[in-house]
Amino acid sequence: MSTETGQISIHTENILPIIKQWLYSDKEIFLRELISNAVDAITKVKKVALSEEIEGNQEYSIQVELDQEKGTLSIRDNGIGMDEGEIKKYINQIAFSGAEDFLERYKENNENNQIIGHFGLGFYSAFMVAEKVEIVSKSYRKGSVAAHWSCEGGTEYLLEESEKEERGTEVILTISPDCAEFLDRGRITEIIKRYCNFLPVPILLNGELQNERTPIWTRTPNTIKEEEYKEFYKKHFPGKEDPLFWIHLNVDYPFRLQGILYFPKILHELDGSKGEVQLYCNQVYVSDNTQDLIPKFLTVLQGMIDCPDIPLNVSRSMLQNDPYVRKISEHITKKIASRLKALYQSDKEQYQRLWEDIHLFIKFGAMEHEKFYEAVKDFLIFKSSEGGYLTLDQYLEKNKEKNKDVVFYFSDEEKQSTYLNLFKSQGLEALNLSSMIDNHFIQFLEFRRMPLKFQRIDSQLTDNLIDSSSSKGDEKNIELLSERIKELLEIENIEVKVESLKSEAISAVIVQPEYARRFKEMAAFMQKENAPDVGQTLIVNQTNTVVQRFFGLDEEGKVEESKLLLEQIYDLARLAHNGLKGDEMTRFLERSHGFLGKI
């Protein structure tokens, strides 16, 4: 073979500078590309060995060598190799792809022999960090002559015979001065472990093994123990508690997808934006920018997914528009729903324990995705005031005699304890809807399940709480009492009613219609200050002994004492409803101390 010089077959002399600056967003990608090509070469020779006898070492590996004195980084494989003609075709003629030609010859579709990258543009990423790139290669074919190719970043190259004796290819990079970081052993180790950790071929850096080779997701799920899943999670997501559960993805049609997604332990509701799902292509790391692959409500997930149909150098815009991406996202949503259903049906106790960690995301998903809601609606559960958990259907069936098509709920167990105790005293049941998402979820469920209505326990007093058969006072007298109370309290924006509650323990409560309170909460959410508390009603319980004492003082003409007692009753109701602030609380405390002093 004679020495040859020539020009690379490209359309413009400016193509290499463009590649050097813009082909990849991160310069470190060059090592991923070159190692991927080395794996391709080994994959090819393994496939050839099935039908042809080949010479040379069949203990396959990729050797990465750093020589800081010479300023070189080399990647050497014992794969299929190239001869002079193949170097001209695959390296000099950028438009051709070695993998395309190879696949044309070996069309058998075997997942275990998929080609990761390709010769061509991926190889030219080396010029992002190197001032000179050399290839020394020898083909697996008997009698082939080894070749040496070199280029210094322009369109001119040198191609000559080499003395290389072993089959395979070595790419030697003379690192540019402005890229000296790629001569640091620690930096190269970091890149290999990040991008190539799961490649199926041993990768050695100056003789030391760097990669794990076999990711857990490539194994059949029924061969993996629970502890192995947890160990894999802790190794790749250190510092985390055990995951709540996980799904193992293994799809062949209509797209190829493998991976494991873990649902992590959540510290609090605002801890939902720290997920990390790494995207791989044939076990080569591509990106952790996977928001278009993972549904919004599942961004908390952590894990890895391997999509051979997504190219290594995928861009964000390509992900957004790729039909495979939409299908993958839908499949992940479906798998999460199936996993939850299986858990609910097989182990309700465990499902209930997990619910406090996952309910925020499940509710968000139900509101965002029609199909997901349909899949999970039968095992959306809610904590009951009686203990335990119920689905909506279970709650409605259990309470159909007392409150048909109405779901009573509370949003703050401590602040609404007066109302909750009143409910419990009469054998009524309410659901705990205290999450930040529940205001929206309630409205969503009302729309989806009309005529169902949700009613907070402080929105109105149900007939089950009022003793309608009480003979204490007729309607006219009650109306007069109500007017007298309003007159003494000097309040205009609140209605007053005198009722006979079945519980004598409570002197008075304030209620506000559901629609009015929701309007106020929406105004507050939109940062509209001073939204009025419209529609409030003060209900005074005439069966309570303190209230009866007030009536007695008023009848005796002791106006000052009766007014003082009435103000205390009113403030107690306000305290249980929304609390007292500033001067209101000061006056209440002073009045309370005054009462204590008279005891």
Which of 296, 311, 346 finishes a domain? 346
Which two tokens mark 67?
């020589």
Among positive and negative, which fits the CA dihedral 55, 56, 57, 61?
negative
On whether residue 432 sits in a domain, the answer given is: no
Number of domains in the chain: 3
On whether residue 115 sits in a domain, the answer given is: yes
On whether residue 501 sits in a domain, the answer given is: yes
Is the same domain home to 143 and 50?
yes
Provide the residue-wise pLDDT of the chain in tens; the chain has 599 residues: 667 776 655 544 445 554 555 444 578 889 998 999 999 999 999 999 888 888 777 889 999 999 999 999 999 999 999 999 999 888 887 534 443 444 454 444 444 444 334 334 578 788 889 999 999 999 999 889 999 999 987 778 899 999 999 999 999 999 999 999 999 999 999 999 999 999 999 999 999 999 998 899 999 999 999 999 999 999 999 888 899 999 999 988 788 899 999 999 877 665 555 678 999 988 989 888 787 788 888 888 999 999 887 765 555 555 666 677 888 889 999 999 999 999 999 999 999 999 988 999 999 999 999 999 999 999 999 999 999 999 999 999 999 888 888 999 999 999 888 889 988 988 899 999 999 899 899 999 999 999 999 999 988 887 778 887 664 556 777 888 888 888 888 888 888 999 988 888 899 998 988 888 888 777 766 666 666 667 889 999 999 999 999 999 989 989 889 899 999 999 998 888 878 888 888 888 888 887 777 76
Give the span between the Cα atoms of 20 and 545, in whole angstroms: 87
Give the span between the Cα atoms of 426 and 199, in whole angstroms: 66
Contact in structure between 296 and 320 (CB atoms under 8 Å): no
Q: What is the DSSP string of 281-341?
A: ETTEEEES--TTTS-GGGTT-EEEEE-TTS-TT--HHHHHH-HHHHHHHHHHHHHHHHHHH
Which two tokens mark 578?
């929304």
Is the same domain home to 201 and 263?
no
Among positive and negative, which fits the CA dihedral 57, 62, 68, 71?
positive
Torsion of CA 285, 286, 289, 295, to 10 degrees: -80
Give the span between the Cα atoms of 132 and 439, in whole angstroms: 63
Is the same domain home to 104 and 220?
no
On whether residue 417 sits in a domain, the answer given is: no
Which of 346, 374, 408 finishes a domain? 346
What is the Cβ-side half-sphere exposure of residue 553, based on CA atoms within 13 angstroms?
17
Is the same domain home to 27 and 163?
yes
Task: Give residue-wise pLDDT tens across range 311-369.
Answer: 655 555 556 666 778 888 899 999 999 999 999 999 999 999 999 889 999 999 999 99
On whether residue 411 sits in a domain, the answer given is: no
269 to each of 171, 229, 356, 439, 525, how far by Cα in Å? 51, 25, 10, 15, 18
The parent domain of residue 153 ranges over 4-209
Angle at 61 between CA 60 and CA 66, to 5 degrees: 155
On whether residue 352 sits in a domain, the answer given is: no
How high is the pLDDT of residue 565? 92
CATH number at 581 reads 1.20.120.790
Largest distance between two CA atoms of the chain: 125
Q: Are strands 508-511 and 537-541 parallel, antiparallel or unpaired?
A: antiparallel
Is the same domain home to 116 and 197?
yes
Among positive and negative, which fits the CA dihedral 553, 555, 556, 558?
positive
Is the same domain home to 184 and 221?
no
Chain Cα centroid distance, residue 423: 38
- Cis preceding linkage at 264, omega within 30: no
CATH number at 90 reads 3.30.565.10
Give the span between the Cα atoms of 389 and 375, in whole angstroms: 19
Give the span between the Cα atoms of 420 and 397, in whole angstroms: 21
Is the same domain home to 480 and 550?
yes
Is the same domain home to 179 and 316?
no
Is the same domain home to 200 and 289?
no
Length of the chain: 599
Q: Which amino acid is at 388?
A: G
Which of 183, 209, 235 finishes a domain? 209
Is the same domain home to 571 and 474?
yes
Q: What is the DSSP string of 462-498?
A: -GGGB-TT--SS-HHHHHHHHHHHHHHHT-SSSEEEE
Give the span between the Cα atoms of 256 and 249, in whole angstroms: 10
On whether residue 468 sits in a domain, the answer given is: yes
On whether residue 418 sits in a domain, the answer given is: no
CATH number at 317 reads 3.30.230.80
Task: Give residue-wise pLDDT tens across range 246-289.
Answer: 999 998 878 889 999 999 987 766 555 567 899 998 898 988 87
- Residue 190: CB atoms within 10 A of its CB come to 12
Closest listed residue to residue 38, CA positions, set 137, 185, 143, 173:
137
The pTM of this model reads 0.78
Is the same domain home to 162 and 271?
no
Is the same domain home to 165 and 225?
no
